[in-house]
Amino acid sequence: MNTIIQAGATPVFVDSREDTWQIDPEDVRRKITPRTKALMAVHLYGHACEMDALVNICKEFDLWLIEDCAEAFGTYYKGRHVGTFGDFATFSFFGNKTITTGEGGMVVARDKDLLDRAYHLKTQAVSPDREYWHDAVGYNYRMTNICAAIGLAQLENASPILEKKRQIAAWYQQGLEGLPLRLLGEYPDTTNSYWMCSIVVDDPNIRQPLRDWLKAANIETRPLFYPCHTLPHCKADETHPVAQSLSARGLNLPSFPELSLEGVTTVCTVIRSFFRSGANER
Ligand SMILES: Cc1ncc(COP(=O)(O)O)c(C=O)c1O
């Protein structure tokens, strides 16, 4: 969203889907106006947006499609890695991502000329064939060689990390079965990379008590993101009921790849003890 505003455009927010937590293509359709230029599909928490529907909308209305894959390294839609559907896609390699370079990220694009333009702008728009000649207003967005070297080493380890994350999610899925909550799983056509193992509890009033209960057992959790339209600089006086409800009910459980079955079992046991204790009914 910040990048949309920084580019001088106006973000228009749409609601999420309750099942996949991703952007709702039906709501996208409702929000398109003659001024709409682009659609940004943000693949959240390792799941994929419904790319068939979004690609079709972009074709129909002649819109650019930009995919934000910051949380979706290793995520596939219909067997294709996300980031390969749009005109441009961005990936984040910040320290909390599935693979990391400490800070930094990656841009991919369908069109070679556009990618060259992005490359040019990120390197202070220095001319490729005239020394110290800057021919546009550029940015210092390049990745350092040191970060890139870390990234290459991380890439070699990407498959085991992704496999382990899927294993952790399966352990949680099993360990939390039957409780009044839902883990973000895997909807048809998607391979979830499980950037985070995230749950929504049925009752928003127990989200914080459950977090406190886990904290008392030395288990750190994080709340789900606030919907962008509720942040102060968006000044969007609107309601997106599904996104707001998910945000109020959601939390991220420990998801780091070194987590053992024993660790996941402990988290699930503590969550079960919360529901058994009656603390959820107070
Ligand atoms: C969906 C999404 N987009 C963009 C970003 C920003 O990535 P970076 O910190 O590499 O700029 C993040 C970071 O957490 C993210 O989760």
Q: What is the pTM assigned to this prediction?
A: 0.96
Same domain, 132 and 166: no
Q: By the 8 A CB rule, do 243 and 18 touch?
A: no
Final residue in a domain of this structure, among 138, 156, 174: 156
Ligand 1 binding pocket includes 68 (Cβ within 6 Å): yes
Domain that holds residue 247: 159-281
Across 206-231, average pLDDT: 97
Residue 163, both tokens: 């496999």
105 in ligand 1 pocket by Cβ < 6 Å?
yes
152 plus 168 within the same structural domain: no
| Mean pLDDT of the chain, nearest integer | 96
Q: Poorest-confidence range of 1-5, 23-27, 261-265? A: 1-5
Q: How confident is the model at residue 163 (pLDDT cuts 50, 70, 90)?
A: very high
Residues 203, 150 share a domain: no
Give yes or no for residue 243 CB within 6 A of ligand 1.
Answer: no
What CATH number corresponds to the domain at position 75?
A: 3.40.640.10
133's tokens: 């000649």
Which atom of ligand 1 lies at the shortest distance from residue 43's CA?
1
Query: Does the pLDDT at position 278 exceed 90?
Result: no
pLDDT of residue 282: 65
Same domain, 67 and 105: yes
- The reply to whether 251 and 151 lie within a common domain is no
Q: What is the pLDDT of residues 142-154, one digit of tens each?
A: 999 999 999 999 9
State whether 20 and 41 are in the same domain.
yes
In this structure, are 246 and 171 located in the same domain? yes
**Nearest protein Cα to ligand 1, atom 14:** 70
**Sheet strand arrangement including 222-223:** 181-183, 197-201, 250-253, 222-223
Do both 269 and 243 map to the same domain? yes
Query: Over 90: is that where the pLDDT of 235 sits?
Result: no
pLDDT value, residue 162: 98
**Which of 91, 123, 156 is the endpoint of a domain?**
156
Residue % of the chain over a pLDDT of 90: 95
Tell whether ligand 1 has an atom less than 6 A from the beta carbon of residue 92: yes
Residue nearest to atom 7 of ligand 1 (CA): 92
Please tell me the distance between residue 131's alpha carbon and the centre of ligand 1 in angstroms: 33
Cα of 92 vs centre of ligand 1, distance in Å, is 6
pLDDT tens across 246-272, in order?
999 999 999 999 999 999 999 999 999
Residue of 94, 139, 142 to test ligand 1 pocket, by largest number of atoms within 8 Å of CB: 94
- Are residues 149 and 169 located together in one domain of the fold? no
Residues 6 and 114 in one domain: yes
252 in Cβ contact with 198 (< 8 Å)? yes
Cβ 183 under 6 angstroms from ligand 1: no
Answer yes or no: do 99 and 169 share one domain: no
Helix/strand/coil (H/E/C) assignment for every residue in 96-158: CCCCCCECCEEEEECCHHHHHHHHHHHECCECCCCCCCECCCCCECCCCHHHHHHHHHHHHCH
- Pair (164, 204) in one structural domain: yes
- Atom 12, ligand 1: residue with shortest CA distance: 70
From 123, 156, 189, give the residue that closes a domain: 156
User: 45 is written with which tokens?
Assistant: 């928490």
Provide the domain count of the chain: 2
Q: Does ligand 1 have an atom closer than 6 angstroms to the CB of 42?
A: yes
